[in-house]
Amino acid sequence: MSTKSLFKQACVAALLALFLLGCRERSADTRRPAFPVADKTTLLATIREDEKPSARQQGPAYHAQGQAEMNIVFGESGGGVAYTVEKGGLTHVVHNGVAGKPYKTVGYVVLSPDGKHVAYRALENGLWRMVVDGAEGPAFNAAQLVAFSPDGRHVAYQAMKGERWYLVVDTTLNAGTRTRFQQHLFSGDSSKIAYTDDSDENNDGRLVVSDIGFRGPKVVEAKGVTQIVANEDKTRVAAIVRKEGKQRVIVFPFADPGSRKEGRLYDAIANLGFGPDGVSVTYMAERDGKRFIIFNDREEPLADGSLAGPLVVRPDQKGVGAILASGNKYCLQQFFVGGGESEKGYEEAAFLAYSRDGSRHAYAARSGQQWFIVADGKEGPPFDRVVTPQFSPDGKYLVYRARRAGKRFVVVADTSGKILREHPAYEQVFDVKFTADGKSVAYGVNDGENLIWKVEKL
């Protein structure tokens, strides 16, 4: 298999994952939040009648479930919500009930981790500005990929002015480059930023680590960087580097980019990621036409199928799991534990998750028109759709989102998949979090006109 084929496979896996998510059914965000998850049910905003999409006002012909879904974003810790409103040919953002200035176009709406701050790009008079809490930033020809720092105090994005691209943190621009940037990542303490710039036609670029004022930037790799990822707490960075027709992975601490570890050379590498311990690294690699799953420099052959989702490191560090697509079947395969044997195949499968001790696993699967959770090989009850299974912190419960007859709700099951309770149904249900004590689930819901942060006992 060629380098292009492996890259194409990775892209297909990513696109498939996006397709499986569906509208408002995004993959679970397993990162520990920078701010405590709000542990009380709170009404965050009420959508006014004149803010609702026209399709919602006109009825079922405009949407399969009888309403149009707004572009709604909840803060990951439950402290805020934002949504966009189109009215009279203009668009504005409403954050925690406060409407912002209308613009011709608005995009990339994001909230700070605590939900208290909002940022988005806005088009006015042919130029783009990043708007943060209502304050307009400098004007650019283009602006994209906005992200808050973990502490919520800074915003980074990429922007083009004239023929030059820049990385911007708040209102400070770096030196810029004539070609575009690829990625940027804040460090966990919000004091540094890693980015790839000067990308060529193969999407290879230069990897740089700098403080957020762009003082004393350190070049980690001068060229050939195709991807960068950070671990869960954003203290370490891994990158795929291409050199003389080969690729390798490098790993280094955010605080000391010069202290790097280099992996073996391969013909191609894809699907790079960290394990939950923040140190373990896994990826897929190709050498001499053969594919391998790599886990902390150990290799295990990948004989059949293609990855249909991310590689997931078991929390007990005993191995790596993945959903594989082979022919018209999807199945779980675990590497480095028992010789990589597969479970039963399904027409679709996604959202692999492990319990914190690594002893149990679960994922969503489809047979015919019905979706269900598969927990340690046992199938749960059927629904129209199920997504994002998660084990509770104590490992006693399995929680996921489900849809039945157009209604969405959270399901709590035991670890075998047997349903213990279904929480109330709403028009939309957003990513589920666990409260700090691990005894309740918390999530955003769209309940008619009300946008609520719901907290329910397990």
Please tell me the distance from the alpha carbon of residue 381 to that of residue 199, in angstroms, as a whole number.
48
Element of type H or E holding 224 = strand 218-230
Residue 69 pLDDT: 57
What torsion, rounded to 10 degrees, do the Cα atoms 42, 45, 48, 50 define? -150
Whole-model pTM: value is: 0.86
**Within 43-98, where are the H helices?**
54-58
Sign of CA dihedral 380, 386, 387, 393: negative
Please tell me the distance from the alpha carbon of residue 372 to that of residue 400, in angstroms, as a whole number.
10
3-state secondary structure of 6: helix
Please tell me the distance from the alpha carbon of residue 415 to that of residue 137, in angstroms, as a whole number.
49
Residue-wise pLDDT tens for the chain (458 aa)? 444 444 444 444 443 433 333 333 333 333 444 689 999 999 999 999 989 876 544 333 333 333 445 799 999 999 999 999 999 999 999 999 999 999 999 999 999 999 999 999 999 999 999 999 999 999 999 999 999 999 999 999 999 999 899 999 999 999 999 887 889 999 999 999 999 998 777 778 899 999 999 998 999 999 999 999 999 999 999 999 998 899 999 999 999 999 999 999 999 999 999 999 999 999 999 999 999 999 999 999 998 889 999 999 999 999 999 999 998 899 999 999 875 567 889 999 999 999 999 999 999 999 999 999 999 999 999 999 999 999 999 999 999 999 999 999 999 999 999 999 999 999 999 999 999 999 999 999 999 999 999 999 99
Residue 366 pLDDT: 97
Please tell me the distance from the alpha carbon of residue 377 to that of residue 172, in angstroms, as a whole number.
52
Please tell me the distance from the alpha carbon of residue 362 to that of residue 285, in angstroms, as a whole number.
26
Which among 427, 419, 423, 362 is positioned nearest to 395, based on CA atoms?
A: 362
Lay out the sheet containing 397-404: strands in order across.
385-391, 397-404, 407-414, 419-422
Residue 101 pLDDT: 97
Element of type H or E holding 20 = helix 3-21
Which among 226, 295, 234, 236 is positioned nearest to 264, based on CA atoms?
A: 295
Q: Cα-flanking dihedrals φ and ψ of residue 121, to 5°?
A: -90, 145
Please tell me the distance from the alpha carbon of residue 129 to that of residue 172, in angstroms, as a whole number.
14
Residue 304 pLDDT: 83
Residue 63 pLDDT: 36
At 52-74, the pLDDT tens digits run 876 544 333 333 333 445 799 99
Which among 170, 221, 216, 215 is positioned nearest to 195, based on CA atoms?
A: 221
Residue 112 pLDDT: 97
Residue 46 pLDDT: 96
At 242-297, the pLDDT tens digits run 988 999 999 999 999 999 999 999 999 999 999 999 999 999 999 999 999 999 99
Q: Looking at 150-204, which runs of residues are DSSP E strands?
A: 155-161, 164-169, 172-173, 184-186, 192-197
Please tell me the distance from the alpha carbon of residue 393 to that of residue 354, in angstroms, as a whole number.
11
Residue 18 pLDDT: 35
